[in-house]
Amino acid sequence: MSIAYLNGHWSKPEDAKISVFDRGFMFGDGVYEVMPVYHGHIFTLDQHIARLKRSMAEVRIQSPLDASAWKVLLEEAVSRSGEQNALIYLQVTRGVAPRSHAFPDHHESALVVTARRLRFLQGDGVDVITIPDIRWKRCDIKSISLLPNVLGKQQAKDSGASEAWMVDSGGQVTEGTLSNAWIVTERGELITRDVSHAILNGITRQAVLRLATGAEIAFSERPFTVNEAKAAREAFITGTTVLVTPVVRIDGEPVGNGRTGEFTAKLLAFYARHMDNQGKET
Ligand code: PMP
């Protein structure tokens, strides 16, 4: 079942109401996290909480909860939902204040958590298109201001693709609208863009890098161009909602043989096993 938590109260999501003066609603003045629940266990919870704290600190939004209270609240969300496989959405905004761009003198952050059932599916290859990256210069912050991502994803959908890879002014891929971008070169090198203000350091990205290290798969964290991606042997995307998803076409051109590659299939299997193991540990 779907449930919501809003500033201390639990309800059905449709009964949770915010003020028209919430700064998240007015300005997109807030940050968020999306976490997977797998076999009743919040996967990579500590990493998501750490990234949330970093995002709040970077934009100077006060944490609405003490450090130890996050886990308790999120685990309560899972148990109230009664779901074994679910998606938790968490948003913190700078709260309610008369509309004025500068911060209010004192703010009480608004906190929303929702949990809903989700079946995690892995496997089928997807198409991506490439589009200019028109976002701000702090994409490392998980801000709720997602208009360029929304427009990009819609452009992908309109062209019959699943995801859009955003490309910087130097012709290099930054990331997807809701995922990190990866390629495997002809020489068998696994590549994903290095962490900077240009991308979100995906929790799935970090997990896949750890798995690659454990499996002694060589990788390189560096930018790659669209041309390099089109000449790659394999490509894939990672993210909380897409897990590890093969990319089989870029701008309509097949990647490698146009089917899920060997490396990608291996990482996908490692990742699925990793999720299963984490679920069983609790
Ligand atoms: N980049 C962007 C722009 C995203 O929105 C997401 C999804 N949160 C990701 C990358 C992947 O991050 P994660 O693996 O933490 O879901």
The Cα–Cα gap between 238 and 257 comes to 21
240 lines ligand 1 (CB under 6 A): yes
Handedness of CA 112, 116, 119, 124 (dihedral sign): negative
CA of 31 to the centre of ligand 1 (A): 13
Q: Find, among 215, 275, 211, 270, the residue nearest to 240 by Cα.
A: 275
Which member of 142, 153, 157, 230 is catalytic? 142
> What pLDDT is attached to residue 120?
78
pLDDT in tens, the chain (282 residues): 999 999 999 999 999 999 999 999 999 999 999 999 999 999 999 999 999 999 999 999 999 999 889 999 999 999 999 999 999 999 999 999 999 999 999 989 999 999 999 987 777 899 999 999 999 999 999 999 999 999 999 999 999 999 999 999 999 999 999 999 999 999 999 999 999 999 999 999 999 999 999 988 999 999 999 999 999 999 999 999 999 999 999 999 999 999 999 999 999 999 999 988 876 654
Rounded distance between C-alpha atoms, residue 78 and residue 49, angstroms: 15
Per the annotation, the verdict on 230 as an active-site residue is no
Does ligand 1 lie within 6 Å of residue 178's CB atom? yes
Q: How many CA atoms lie within 13 A of 63 on its CB side?
A: 15
Cβ of 200 closer than 6 Å to ligand 1, yes or no, is yes
| C-beta of 204 in contact with ligand 1 (< 6 A) | yes
Check: CB of residue 69 under 8 Å from CB of residue 23: no
Question: What pLDDT is attached to residue 131?
Answer: 98
- Confidence (pTM): 0.97
Spatial CA neighbour of 15 closest among 27, 5, 23:
5
Q: DSSP secondary-structure letter at 60? A: T
What pLDDT, on the 0 to 100 scale, is given for residue 123? 73
| 3-state secondary structure (DSSP) of residue 5 | strand
